[in-house]
Amino acid sequence: MNFPSNIFNSHSKEDGDFFLGITNILGFKPKDIKIYKKAFLHRSANKKDKNGNPMNYERLEFLGDAMLGTIISKHIYKEVPAGDEGYLTKMRSKIVSRKHLNELGKDLNLIHYVESRIPKSHFGDNIHGNVFEALVGAIYLDRGYKYCEKFIDDRVIEPYVDIEQLEGKVISYKSLLIEWCQKQKKDFRYNIYEDTGKDPLKHFAVKFSINGKVMAKARATSKKKAEEKASKRAFFALQHKIEKS
């Protein structure tokens, strides 16, 4: 199904509300509102352009991810002149982590503008970060690098980026624990099994053990989340030992 050629130039209340809402989020007026409409199109809407190509936010998400990484990299490079490549990469990863991007998308209530055939209550957390990246991609196409940089500065760097705080922020408790166990030559294991119980969604449970002793347990809707949750609990149980080593 193709969009009618005049759909984005109409003056319906819905279009007007979208334009005003996006303008408020951006801090400036869009030149081509069609690009921003595409940034909020979920693939389930099954829209196509005049050439039959799928229209959804995923290509803009790809572009926005690249722009976000470039602009954040530039900021860290300027702010931390003594940082080596490894340090700069680590700091950028913390700022553009999936969890952080999801928080940004939630703060801006971007899901409100998503067009989808799926009820919004059925989306996972990643929809928030995905649409945020798509919005960044749309800004770049519509207004260029300078406006994109200003948006990221105003919405990401100024309110959220504190280098000193980020230096102490743990990205992955699992990675931290594995690294510590390997340095200390300790045997560690993640034992995972399905534990749906009475929940409508499939859950996984995990036991994290060191040298045969169970240090923490957790359950979540994915194996990865369950492992990270158990790792976090184990980290705080072992924090004194880890920090002394």
The SS3 call for residue 169 is coil
Whether 103 is catalytic is no
Other Cβ atoms less than 10 A from the Cβ of 165: the count is 10
Residues 6+ apart with CB under 8 A from 225: none
Whether 65 is catalytic is yes
Q: How far apart are CA 161 and CA 159, in angstroms?
A: 6
Instruction: Give the residue from 206, 203, 211 showing the smallest Cα distance to 233.
Output: 206
Q: How far apart are CA 11 and CA 34, in angstroms?
A: 13
Of the residues 14, 32, 65, 107, which is catalytic?
65
Terminal C-alpha separation, the chain: 61
Q: How far apart are CA 2 and CA 127, in angstroms?
A: 24
Of the residues 133, 149, 227, 228, which is catalytic?
133
Q: Report the catalytic residues.
A: 65, 133
